[in-house]
Structure 1
Amino acid sequence: MLAAARKDVLLERLRRDGRIVAKEVAAELGISEDSIRRDLRELDAAGLAVRVYGGALPASPAVADYATRTAVAPDSKRRVAAAAVALIPAGATVILDGGTTTLAVVDSLPLTFSGTIITHSPTIATALLHHEAEVFLIGGQLFKHSAVASGAAAAEAASRVRADLFFLGVTGVHPDAGLTTGDADEAAMKRTLASRAAETYVLASEEKIGAASRYDVLPFDATAGIVTDVRADTGIALDLQAAGAVLLSA
């Protein structure tokens, strides 16, 4: 089998099963495990898969640039955002992560919300200009891919705030890989922000469910729930719940 045909088979297997075990696929196709590993390396380099020990997982489309992500699953993001806003008590202090799903949360948040919003995203802060809420913007080095502040200065500022809720954005929610994102410094900043809130909720629109990225953010049991509009009776939802995730229907 030619390499191009093998890669098509591997991508179809990722879409169907949500994971690839290199040893099993090699035996099934009657080719060497080294050939499968080489194909997976090339798929990983092309952003089509994420290599893990023994195989690969589907790559998240949510690691695309910010402008591209605004057009991905907008209806799903609106549903997730509306469900997230319903979790916010009156007068609460809320940390909002960066990202396009979090921006949808701001769009769903009533202008009359009178609590406090803390964010490290200038995009989110600007979107809150006409809300009654107090807004605190955490500064630092701007990570342009996600339009958020990160690095030592941002982490230091974040370590001095406290909140009732943190709405966490990730690029992947997978039963094997857990909660992941595409940048190591951004993952560290997300962990810092989560440590400053009494409860952390994950915002997971449909394109993130069953996908994975390179860097771990948090384990499922470190969150109060994953807000998603993926149906609870689907195979991926059942796999996530078996892995310890609490799914909150949007």
Structure 2
Amino acid sequence: MLTSQRKQHILEQLAADGQVLSKDLSARFAVSEDTIRRDLRELAAEGHLQRVHGGALPSSTAVATFTERKSLKTSAKKRVALRGAQLISAGQVVIIDGGTTTSELIGYLPHDLQITVVTHSPSIALGLIDHPLIEVILIGGRLYKHSIVTVGSTAIEGINAIHADIFFMGVTGIHPEAGLTTGDYEEACIKRAFSGRAAETVVLLSPEKINTASPFVIGGLGLIDTVVVDDGVDEQWIGSIEEKGVTVVKA
């Protein structure tokens, strides 16, 4: 079998099973694990998958620029964001992460809603200017332009001064085994810090993030309490998430 054919079969199996193991692929194709690792390394370099210990997972498409990500699964993001907004109650302190889905979330907040929003996203803060009863606390730090959020030690210091009711965390990938991941190391640190300061952590999931992984781990699924998904998500996947103790809410 040609290398290109083997790679295509690997991608097909990855799409069907949600993960591939190097040992199993070696046996299936009767080649060494070194050969399989080389295949996976080359496929990862081309952006087709995310290598993990012992194999690979689907690579998240949610690591493009903010502008590019805004056009992905737009209808699903709106439905998920609307359902997420319904989880917010008056008087709460709400942490809102940066991201395209959370940008949709603030568009569904009623103008008579009185809450305090904490965010490290200038875009989120500016999006709430016309909400007269929403107090906005903007966490400072170094601006990470790819995601339009602040990161770094200054941001962590500000986060540590907060006790919030709910945190809407943005991720680029969620997988039952690989957990919650994102495309930048410092962003992963910020998300962990925010989660540690909230009584409840919610992830709003658009379809392209489900069963995928990115290079940097935010944490296991034990870090979150709830995921909001669009209707029609695979029930087997939902079951695997619920087995981890996470509540799944359908939009």
Question: Same fold by TM-score, threshold 0.5 exceeded?
Answer: yes
TM-score normalised by length of structure 2: 0.95
Q: What is the CA distance between 1:234 and its match in structure 2?
A: 2.5
Q: What secondary structure is seen at the aligned counterpart in 1 of 2:62?
A: helix
Alignment of 1:56-67 (within 5 A): 56-67=56-67
Cα deviation, 1:137-182, whole Å, max 9, x if unaligned, reads 1111011111100001111111112211110010111011011111
Cα distance in structure 2, aligned partners of 1:16 and 1:43 = 17
1:118 is aligned to 118
Look up the SS of the partner of 1:28 in the other structure: helix
Alpha-carbon shift at residue 21 of structure 1 (Å): 0.7
For the residue of structure 2 that corresponds to 1:63, the secondary structure is coil
Partner of 2:107: helix, strand, or coil?
A: helix
217-226 or 36-45: bigger deviation: 217-226
Find the residue that maps to 2:190 and give its secondary structure. helix
- AA at the equivalent of 2:190: M
**Which residue in the other structure is 2:15 paired with?**
15
- Give the partner amino acid of 1:224: D
Cα displacement (A) at 1:11: 1.3
Distance 1:92 1:241 in 2: 26
Q: CA deviation at 1:228?
A: 1.2
Aligned to 2:206: 205
Deviates more, 1:40-49 or 1:140-149: 40-49
Identity %: 46
2:184 paired residue number? 183
Name the residue aligned to 1:235: 236
Shift of 1:244: 3.7
Unpaired runs of at least 5, structure 2:
none
1:164 aligns with 2:173: no
For structure 1, which segment, 171-180 or 235-244, has the greater mean C-alpha deviation from structure 2 after superposition?
235-244
Distance 1:8 1:184 in 2: 30
Cα distance change of structure 1 residues 230 and 4 upon mapping to structure 2, 3 Å threshold: farther
SS of equivalent residue, structure 1 residue 118: strand
Secondary structure of the residue aligned to 2:166 is strand
1:6 paired residue number: 6
Give, in angstroms, the shift of residue 233 of structure 1: 5.4
Q: What is the alpha-carbon distance in structure 1 between the residues aligned to residue 226 and residue 159 of structure 2?
A: 22
How far residue 217 of structure 1 moved from its aligned partner, in angstroms, is 1.0
Residue type of the partner of 2:217? D
Q: Deviations 1:45-90 (Å, cap 9, x if unpaired)?
A: 2222111111100000011111110001111111111111111011
The Cα of 1:249 is off from its aligned counterpart by 1.4
Partner of 1:194: 195
How many residues align structurally? Answer: 250
Q: Displacement, 1:120?
A: 0.2
Shift of 1:230: 5.0
TM-superposition CA deviations, 1:11-31 (whole Å, max 9, x none): 111111000011111211222
Asked whether the equivalents of residues 178 and 220 of structure 2 are also in contact (C-alpha less than 8 Å), the reply is no
Q: In structure 1, give the amino acid aligned to 2:242.
A: Q
Deviation of residue 232 (structure 1)? 6.0
Q: State the superposition RMSD in angstroms.
A: 1.4
- How far apart, CA to CA, are the structure 2 residues paired with 1:176 and 1:102? 25
Secondary structure at the aligned position of 1:62 is classed as coil
| Aligned equivalent of 1:145 | 146
Distance 1:37 1:230 in 2: 36
Q: Which residue of 1 aligns with 2:68?
A: 68
SS in 2 for 1:61: coil
CA distance 1:130–1:86, change in 2 (3 Å): same
Unpaired segments ≥5 residues, structure 1: none
Secondary structure of 1:167 counterpart: strand
| Change over 3 Å in CA distance of 1:167–1:25 after alignment to 2 | same
TM-score w.r.t. the length of structure 1 is 0.95
Confirm or deny that 1:101 pairs with 2:120. no
Aligned to 2:51: 51
Contact 2:222 2:244 in 1 (8 A): no
The AA in structure 2 aligned to 1:105 is L
